[in-house]
Amino acid sequence: MTATTTAPLAAPSVRAARRPSGRMRAWATRAPLLPALIFMIAVTQLPFVATLVISFFDWNALYPKARHFTGLGNYSDVLTDPDLRHSVWTTILLTVTVVLVSLVLGLVLALLLDRKFRGRGIVRTLLIAPFLVVPVAAALLWKHVLYNPEYGLLNGLLHYVGGPQPDWISHTPLLAVEASLVWQWTPFMMLILLAGLQSRSHEQIEAAKVDGASDWQIFRHLTLPHLRRYLELGALLGSIYIVQNFDAVFTITSGGLGTANLPYTVYQSFYQAHENGLASAAGVLVVIGSIIIATFALRVVSSLFREEVSRA
């Protein structure tokens, strides 16, 4: 009994399993885990399997009798239909742009906040706030209050300097969506990178300073290598969330003007066009994309995790 509590390792429970009542004990150990595990499999894995099955059928909900097996037909439709193919491209562009820009901005902000100055706590709070606005509310704020060509804040401020008065959403629709997402996700990146900065070894930096290293050299050769995994983690987690983005695209452009990404396309093709098979194939493609990102993400998380465990 005490053996199982000494360290969070599998070995003690192996020993427990060899005792006569070992099987019972093993199940008693597993029991608290089962409700959560079964619940997760039922609610997340089963629907995905169903999506996978539906994706092989030509199935429009308005013509249920015409449903038939079509193999990979839906996938070739998704990949050859210009609109759908465009949404694949939009998804990639949107994700990469938002993640990279917010990562760079987040790094700059994290470096600024890593120093002591008057009101640091207040600035930190101001910077986190955008992330804590309900995503739909944030998208509405940008769409109506900032971007509005006649009386939006952006054109209002441009008015003071005699600048042009562009119609942001119709001229640069994808950029408009991206800017609002960068505003929301930069604080996220900043928080992760700030945690990374604060976990640096101070002795090492002091030693480098004593040896006469410049700030840039310290940043380049000590800080950046240390931050690498935090940057990776921010990029991967950001990608996982932004690949799935629906709120901003739905609210700001309603998928119009070439901004429809895959999640919006999936939503539209079954909710409005009732193309169940096609929607499922597009959904499976999003999953494949996510799995590729997730494989890398899991690797980074597990390396950070193992470090934590071995340190403990």
Restricted to residues 21-50, the positions that interact with other proteins (CB under 8 A) are 26, 29-33, 35-37, 39-40, 43-48, 50
13 lines the binding site for other proteins (CB under 8 A)? yes
Nearer to other proteins, 20 or 33 (CB): 33
211 lines the binding site for other proteins (CB under 8 A)? no
Tokens of 19: 């005792």
Tokens of 14: 């192996």
As a whole number of angstroms, the distance between CA 189 and CA 167 comes to 29
DSSP 130: G
| Helix, strand, coil fractions of the chain, as percent rounded to 5 | 80, 0, 20
As a whole number of angstroms, the distance between CA 81 and CA 61 comes to 20
Residues 6+ apart with CB under 8 A from 62: 274
Nearer to other proteins, 159 or 228 (CB): 159
177 lines the binding site for other proteins (CB under 8 A)? no
**Least CB distance from residue 233 to other proteins, whole Å?**
6
**Least CB distance from residue 73 to other proteins, whole Å?**
17
**Least CB distance from residue 12 to other proteins, whole Å?**
8
**Of 238-297, which residues contact other proteins (CB under 8 A)?**
240, 243-244, 246-247, 250-251, 254, 262-263, 266-267, 270-271, 276, 279-280, 282-284, 286-287, 290-291, 293-294, 297
72 lines the binding site for other proteins (CB under 8 A)? no
| Site track for other proteins across 220-239, x = CB under 8 A | ----------x--x---x--
205 lines the binding site for other proteins (CB under 8 A)? no
Provide the H-helix boundaries in the chain.
Answer: 3-6, 11-18, 22-30, 34-40, 46-54, 73-80, 82-113, 120-128, 135-140, 153-160, 168-171, 173-198, 202-210, 215-218, 224-243, 247-248, 262-271, 276-311
Residue in this structure with the two tokens 């940008």, named with its chain if needed = 142
Nearer to other proteins, 97 or 245 (CB): 245
**Of 102-161, which residues contact other proteins (CB under 8 A)?**
108-109, 112-113, 115, 117-120, 122-138, 140-146, 148, 150-151, 153, 155-157, 159-160
Q: What angle do CA 234, 235, 236 make, to 5 degrees?
A: 95
308 lines the binding site for other proteins (CB under 8 A)? yes
Closest listed residue to residue 154, CA positions, set 133, 183, 114, 125: 183
Determine the size of the site formed for other proteins (CB under 8 A): 121
Residues 6+ apart with CB under 8 A from 23: 17
**Least CB distance from residue 97 to other proteins, whole Å?**
18
Query: Interacting stretch for other proteins, rule CB under 8 A, among 4-12, 69-77, 78-86, 206-214?
Result: 4-12
Closest listed residue to residue 181, CA positions, set 233, 238, 128: 238
